[in-house]
Structure formats: structure tokens, C-alpha cells
Amino acid sequence: MGAGHAHRLYRHGHSPVHGLPAHTKLAAAFAFVVVVVSTPREAMWAFALYAVLLAAVAAAARVPAGFLLKRLLIEVPFVAFAVLMPFVAEGERVHVLGLSLSVNGLWGAWNVLAKGTLGVAASVLLAATTELRELLLGLQRLKLPPLLVQIASFMIRYGDVITDEMRRMRIARESRGFEASGVRHWGVLAKSAGALFIRSYERGERVHLAMVSRGYAGSMPVIDEVTASRAQWSSALALPCAALLVCLLGWVL
Amino acid sequence: MGPVTASLEVSGLAFAYPDGHQALFGVDFTVGRGERVALLGPNGAGKTTLVLHLNGILGGGAGAVTVAGLPVGKRHMAEIRQKVGIVFQDPDDQLFMPTVREDVAFGPAAAGLKGPALDARVRTALERVGMADFADRPPHHLSFGQRRRVAVATVLAMEPEILVLDEPSSNLDPASRRELADILRSLDVTVLMVTHDLPYALELCPRALILSDGVIAADGATGELLSDDALMRAHRLELPFGFDPRSVTARA
């Protein structure tokens, strides 16, 4: 956790996709996921078309396929669940290579796998082309409650500070001969976690004091005014619109 | 102080915490415009409590604080917080925004500054502490000395009447210490420096106050106070080994 994570997902570049304002990209990615999720699972060709759409965006953003695929690995634990479904689901069964599989389960697994992968791929593309800081500003522009955005931005700022504090506490523990090797030591770890919580809480108070001293009165001042032109909106929304077309065809055909 | 209004006037300031602990027992002093004054005192003397009174974070006790003729109180809070710039001891507490530029912009933006005027203010403040090239870096990627300098810039960006520094030299290596001293000397602003670091106080501040047991126990030329062994001992102030304030003043 913490150190550097924030920046590792981002891939520096100057492509047209990188250049779009963050809130247009956020809206586009969200709309795309909604459209994908509402597509009937039987329309397999539609999902292939979605993948092609995403590949086109990746090409425009100059994000190499290897980069994208490696980051898709985060999905693996969910895939494991999908793989189980054909074995445990009820209903009509088919036999493949001597295994008895549920037809319903197969469709369910496909559904989770296809929609999940497309959703993760869209998020990975978003994260690869948008800096974390811009994402937050984008959320602010999209009128997410300011308190949530503030909490998220403090998390980014203090993640490293708190991880570092945790590391120092671990070093201090180990320097005095402590090694967590079993259940018996969980008490010590729990106390460290408690101490870390109190330290962070007190830091929160000091930070608040510093903010109030510089004129904070409950809401963050607007420092960067980001606006999107009509052209930028339309190029960002090209992706979900194309996807919507595919989705409608999927329902009609 | 003559016809010019003093930057800071504290008179009869007394304060007790809600738990009954009385930290200040009638503090009186005045800091003239453009002065650099050190506030010295042992741990627990009430230094931090005093500092938090200067911009109205603490209040409600007896006495009054006036900043550039403006009484500290609810009515002028926004103006007071702009006029009194406090640099806290831990820069990680002071720098809470994701990038240096946004952090320096926080104060002026909260005061309503926008657009190019805001950018110019941020640039000037960062240039004054020699950190203009680091504007887009996140604070946690800077060295401790750099963070301390950015912390000073965040306060300078508000164009304060008086700069209050809490232990400015703590945790700095000698080079960063000297760099910060050069910066502080180059600023044309009133400075109140709260510190244990007596050589640093002597280097930067011609005048010093000793706060002890919640009152001002001494007020005079820094060199003279530091040379008064009996006074120093009475207030738990000790010079570092081998440091003789007389030799320094003689050379200067």
C-alpha cells in the first residue's frame, strides 16, 4: 500500500486522450461501464465490439497492449469466482470433457467475465491517461460531495506519511527484538495499529489547525478552474455513444 | 514605536485551558514593524499557547492581542488570519495539498484571489524561498529542509504583517539551517521566532523575549540576555557546549 502506488497506474504521455479534461473522461468511462453492464449476455458479438472500441481508445492514447493486459491481472480473484459458477449453479447441465457443467452457470460465468473485464479495462485506461490529482478535480467538477473529494485528496497526501510512520514503528519494534511469528504476537500488532490510529488522529488535528490558520472555513478554495469545450465533451463521449449503439443492436437483434 | 503602528501588541494576556491548567499569566510585549524578535523559553513555558492566541485559534481569556492596530477577535478573524502567518513546526502538518503550488495557493485562494493574480502571488512566494522549480512536485517528495522552505512560502503568499515561526531550525541539517536563515534575513517582514535554538536566535534576532511560567521574564538585546548566566539558569535555558555569545557579538 501507500508509497508510490498513486503514480504507478499512470502512464505519462501527450496523446489526445491524455489531453481531455478529467471530468469528461470520468463521465465517459462511467457511461461506458453502465452501457456494457446493461447489454444482454447472449449477444456475445456485442462484447467483442466493445473490446474493439476500447482497443481503439488505447491506440489513440498510445497505451501499449502489454501495459493494459498486465494491469488487467487485478481482476484475477474475481475471475476465480466466475470459474466456480458452472460447477455450483443449478439447472440444466451439459457435459464437456467429462465434466458436468450447468448451462446457467456457464452463462453467468461468461457474463461476469466479459462485463468485468471490459469494466476493468476501461478503468485501467482512465487511470493510465489521467493523473490522480486531475481525477479528483474531475470528481469535484462532476459535483461529487466536496467532503468526499477532500477526504480522497488527504488520503493521497498523507498515505505516504502514514506508511512511513508505520515503517518507523515496525523498525522500532524489531530493533527491540520483536518478531511477529504467530498468533501470540497479534496483541502487539494490534496495539501498534491503535497507536498509529491515535497518531494519525492527532496529526489530523494539527493539519486542521494549519488549515484554519490560513483561512480555511469549511470548503476548499478553487485553485484550478478546469473547463471542457463542446468538442472535448463530444470526443470523450464518442466512446459511450458508440457503445450505446452496440448495446441497442444487442437488444434488438 | 513612534507614529507607525506596531505589528503586534500583546497586553495582559492570560489563559487557562478548559481542564484548569493555566498556561499564561498576563503576558505583555510589543513587536514593532520590521523587527525580528526571538521568543525563548523552556518546554512548557506556554510558547505554543501564546502563538495560538496570535491568530485567534485560542482565546476567551483575559487581555488583548492587537495585530497592526486590529484587535484579534471574531469580528476580524479572516483579516487576522491573513495578517498573522504561522509556520508550524512539522512541515507535514502545514503542507496538506497534493502539490506545492496548490498548497502555496491555498491561503490566497481562501481569501478570494483567482486566476493570474493568484498564479503571480504563488510564483513570487516560491521565488522568495528559492523553491520556484518545485511548484508541481508533491510535498512528500521533497527533502525536509525544502519542505520547511515551502511551508514558509505558503505563509508568505498571504502577504502577512507578521511571520510567526515555531521552532524553524528543528530537524534541519546545518546547510538547510543556514539557507533558511539567509531567506529569513532577506524578507522584509516582521518576524517572531519561537525557538530553543539559542545560537539561531542570536544569529537572526537582535531582540529576544524570555517566556517563563506564563509571563515575560525578560525583554532585551539577544546578546545581552544570552550572556546573563543567572537569568539563563533561572529559566532553564542552556547554551550549547562551547558556545559563547560574547565572542559572537564581539565579532559582529
| Statement: residue B251 has pLDDT above 80 | no
Supply the pLDDT for residue A44.
Answer: 86
Mean of the pLDDT values across residues A164-179?
A: 84
The amino acid that residue A103 corresponds to is: V
Question: Could you tell me the pLDDT band of residue B100, with boundaries at 50, 70 and 90?
Answer: very high
Supply the pLDDT for residue B250.
Answer: 46
Q: Which of B57, B94, B155 is facing A212, going by the closest CB pair?
A: B57
For chain B, percent of residues with pLDDT exceeding 90: 67
Supply the pLDDT for residue B249.
Answer: 60
> What mean pLDDT value characterizes chain A?
85
Question: Could you tell me the pLDDT band of residue B2, with boundaries at 50, 70 and 90?
Answer: very low
Supply the pLDDT for residue B98.
Answer: 83
| Statement: residue A7 has pLDDT above 70 | no
Which H/E stretch holds residue A76?
helix A76-88
Supply the pLDDT for residue B114.
Answer: 87
Which H/E stretch holds residue B200?
helix B198-204
How many Å lie between the alpha carbon of A153 and the closest alpha carbon of chain B?
A: 7
DSSP A100-137: EEEHHHHHHHHHHHHHHHHHHHHHHHHHHHS-HHHHHH
| Statement: residue A55 has pLDDT above 70 | yes
3-state secondary structure of B218: strand
How many Å lie between the alpha carbon of B89 and the closest alpha carbon of chain A?
A: 10
A60 to each of A57, A240, B119, how far by Cα in Å? 5, 16, 33
List chain A domain ranges. 9-139+227-252, 146-213
| Statement: residue A187 has pLDDT above 90 | no
pLDDT digits (tens, 9 = 90+) for B109-164: 888 888 899 999 999 999 999 999 999 888 888 999 999 999 999 999 999 999 99
**In chain A, positions 175-204, which contact chain B (CB-CB < 8 Å)?**
203
Mean of the pLDDT values across residues A119-124?
A: 93
Question: Could you tell me the pLDDT band of residue B51, with boundaries at 50, 70 and 90?
Answer: very high
pLDDT digits (tens, 9 = 90+) for A205-243: 999 999 988 888 877 787 777 788 888 888 888 898 999
Contact across the interface for B106 and A154, Cβ inside 8 Å: no
Question: Could you tell me the pLDDT band of residue A176, with boundaries at 50, 70 and 90?
Answer: confident
| Statement: residue A5 has pLDDT above 70 | no
Rounded to whole angstroms, the Cα distance separating A71 from A198 reads 35
Higher pLDDT, A59 or A80: A59
Mean of the pLDDT values across residues A57-64?
A: 90
Supply the pLDDT for residue A230.
Answer: 86
pLDDT digits (tens, 9 = 90+) for B184-194: 999 989 999 99
Q: Is B245 on the interface with A (CB under 8 A)?
A: no
Whether residue A223 contacts residue B109, with contact meaning beta carbons closer than 8 Å, is answered with yes
Q: Looking at the domain B8-89+160-251, which fold is it?
A: Rossmann fold (3.40.50)
Question: Could you tell me the pLDDT band of residue A96, with boundaries at 50, 70 and 90?
Answer: confident
3-state secondary structure of A153: helix
Rounded to whole angstroms, the Cα distance separating B64 from B53 reads 9
Whether residue B37 contacts residue B191, with contact meaning beta carbons closer than 8 Å, is answered with yes
List chain B domain ranges. 8-89+160-251
Supply the pLDDT for residue A89.
Answer: 77
Question: Could you tell me the pLDDT band of residue B1, with boundaries at 50, 70 and 90?
Answer: very low
Q: Is A205 on the interface with B (CB under 8 A)?
A: no
Q: Is A160 on the interface with B (CB under 8 A)?
A: yes
Q: Which of A154, A201, A206, A223 is best to mutate for the B interface (most B CBs within 10 A)?
A: A223
Supply the pLDDT for residue A222.
Answer: 77
**Which residues touch B205 (CB under 8 Å, ≥6 apart)?**
B36, B37, B38, B191, B193, B222
| Statement: residue A3 has pLDDT above 50 | no
| Statement: residue A4 has pLDDT above 70 | no
